[in-house]
Amino acid sequence: MTAGGTVRTEVRIGVLGPVVAHAAGDALTLPRPRSREVLAVLVAAGGRTVRTDALVDDLWDGTPPPGAVGAVRTFVAELRRALEPDRPPRTPPRVVVTRGPGYALDVPPDAVDAWRVARLAAEARTAPPDTAVRLLAHALAAWRGEPYEELADRPWVQPERTRLVTLRADVTEQLADALLATGRAVDVVPLLDAHVGAHPWREDGWRLLATALHRLHRPADALDVLRRARRTLAEDLGLDPGPALRDLEQQVLERRDDDAWRDDSLSALDRRGGRARLEASGAVLTSLAVSGDLATVRAQRLASIAAAERLGDPLLTARVVGGLEAPGVWTRSDDDELAAAVVAAAVRTLPRVTGSPVTRGRLLATIAIEDRGTAARETEALEAERIARDLDDRHLLCLALSGRAMQRFGSTGLAADRERIGAELVATAVCAESTTFRIAGRIVRMQALCALGRLDEAAAEADEVDALAASAERPLATTFTAWFRHTFADGPEPAAPDEMPGFSHGIVALARVTRLVRDGGTLPGPDAAGDLGPYAPWVRPLLLVRAGDVDGARRAVRGAPAPPHDLLQEVAWGLLLTAAREAGAPDVVDRARDALAPAVDERAAGSGVVDAGPVRALLRG
């Protein structure tokens, strides 16, 4: 509280990319470029006072114009209004403050992304390896692009940009070192592949990458990396490799093992360094998941849970089960067996977790996210949400809201609820500085807006997703926006990604058939529609009846199960209703009409991928 009794809203400032600011979860509109540059200069000063004459020198190259000091004061005033829009008149500023002959940024250290990254990196240097992995993964996630991106041509910013680029490289190598210390050589390779290309003169990057390959029993690849390092250093700097690289090369040639690992199974989740490595598994698997390496996540997640359960520590098991911060945006799992096993482990562990509400909340949210297409876990999601609100834990609230979004399918017609959940998820993720959940929230909202027929707003969300995905290197997120544009803006048909079988299996054939039905086109025969995957029970009856096999269609209609409670339930019920009507199955017609009735004012388009048109038209026939 301030002296006047008002609540001070914490401002969050980002310079690891474009210069941005947020307050109370909302993006602040920063004024003209000069005022943004003043903010950037103050951030670079690290909270120290910047004299007005120094600001003049930074803002104008060469001789400043007459009135430059007055202009600086104007820029500062504009900046203060932008950063504190609700500050009452004639009250002193609290963010950009006047100190002596200049100005300073008066915010907590964690309010600026560049300051927070430096703190995390410093803490990680003295932390145990598993803790270091978590700290450094959070540090790397803060980058949204090149530091001070729009000011790259300004002379004053060059030393600060160089310092931050070096800091990012240091953090990357620190993380690689911590991963190796926790037995996670498999995760070091993708982390450092691009790094050594961007920083070819940093010997530690080459050494850590070659070490990881050596520990993965890939001696030829390790030697290739070491020889590339030797060529780069010799040709570009005229230097020989240092003793660490030379010793490692000899070790690989002699096929000697490092003392830090044993020559047995090199699974990332074997028994070596069990507890420390398992504690770190959530952060590492999360990093792999959001970067798109879903196959590795699926391969390693269940093994880590099984290893934790063998140790007999319920809190450790709970942290491993609930440690993956990968939100759900599609209601069909990529691996049903894995999802069921994760849910079973969470249910087994939940009664044994006492005295740790955060851990309990993460388990509950994990159950809600993983048990998809059932709408049977909303109670768990709501309890996780309550715990997060009671604790004011924004990261947990992001996870809980993601679980609620996956469960809000108890009937058709609930798109408005999911739109509100998605909007809150975006706002919470902004406060939590989680790009992952910002993307997820915008996709959830885009999907719901399609069902509500608010396609212009859905298109705006798609644009936001694409921008976030590009800046944070989250390529799989654009799968959903590409399909949105194909379905609603006549964009090209995207490929179905192999990394996401829960999404891709059957979606192309379903989308094509549904578009033909909606537009009155001629349907292919039952054997010519392509791979309908899990959607066949609700599509095949209509293909049969349109092909003239009315009896077969009637049998198929009556044998079709109720569609899952998921993003495509309105589409599935609509196709089943149409087939039942044409095949003469009035009992199924009544069942489908009852199921669709709550969505009468929506479109059968809640996935943002497949559009069967207005539900009212489907009900009318």
Question: pLDDT tens digits for 300-337?
Answer: 787 778 877 877 788 888 888 888 777 888 999 988 88
Helix (H, G, I), strand (E, B) or coil at 504: helix
> Which pLDDT score is estimated for 215?
86
Question: pLDDT tens digits for 13-31?
Answer: 999 998 998 887 678 888 7
> Which pLDDT score is estimated for 103?
92
Query: Which of 524, 560, 523, 563 has the alpha carbon at shortest distance from 541?
Result: 560
- Which residues sit opposite 11 in a β-bridge? 23
Strands of 11-14's sheet in order across: 11-14, 20-23, 26-27
- For 609-618, b where at least 16 C-beta lie within 10 A, e where not — what string? bbbbbbbeeb
Q: Looking at the predicted structure, is the pLDDT value of residue 400 above 50?
A: yes
Q: Looking at the predicted structure, is the pLDDT value of residue 71 above 50?
A: yes
Q: Which two tokens stand for residue 302?
A: 């269940």
Q: What is the DSSP letter of 233?
A: I
> Which pLDDT score is estimated for 330?
92
Query: What is the reported pTM?
Result: 0.59
Question: pLDDT tens digits for 421-469?
Answer: 999 999 999 988 888 899 999 999 999 999 999 999 999 999 999 999 8
> Which pLDDT score is estimated for 88?
87
Cα–Cα distances in angstroms (integers) from residue 397 to residues 301, 394, 410, 577, in the given order:
23, 5, 21, 38
pLDDT tier, 283 (very low <50, low <70, confident <90, very high otherwise): low
pLDDT tier, 233 (very low <50, low <70, confident <90, very high otherwise): confident
> Which pLDDT score is estimated for 386?
96
> Which pLDDT score is estimated for 6?
40
pLDDT tier, 565 (very low <50, low <70, confident <90, very high otherwise): very high
191 versus 258: the higher-pLDDT residue is 191
pLDDT tier, 7 (very low <50, low <70, confident <90, very high otherwise): very low
Compute φ and ψ for 545, nearest 5 degrees.
-65, -35
Q: How far apart are the first and last CA of the chain?
A: 60
Compute φ and ψ for 94, nearest 5 degrees.
-115, -10
- Provide the mean pLDDT of the chain: 87
Question: pLDDT tens digits for 247-274?
Answer: 888 877 766 544 333 333 333 333 334 5
Distance CA 116, CA 108 (A): 10
% residues pLDDT > 70 (the chain) = 92
Cα–Cα distances in angstroms (integers) from residue 481 to residues 19, 335, 416, 430, 516, in the given order:
26, 23, 20, 20, 21
Beta-carbon count within 10 A of 258 CB: 13
Question: pLDDT tens digits for 93-138?
Answer: 988 999 889 999 999 988 999 999 999 999 988 888 888 899 999 9
Contact 72, 59 (CB under 8 A): yes
Geometric angle at alpha carbon 347, from 134 and 298, rounded to 5°: 50
What's the chain's Rg over C-alpha atoms? Answer: 28
Contacts of 351 (CB under 8 A, 6+ apart): none
Query: Which of 562, 564, 563, 574 has the alpha carbon at shortest distance from 599?
Result: 574
Helix (H, G, I), strand (E, B) or coil at 97: strand
pLDDT tier, 35 (very low <50, low <70, confident <90, very high otherwise): confident
> Which pLDDT score is estimated for 243?
80
Q: Looking at the predicted structure, is the pLDDT value of residue 225 above 90?
A: no
Query: Which of 392, 425, 387, 358 has the alpha carbon at shortest distance from 10?
Result: 392
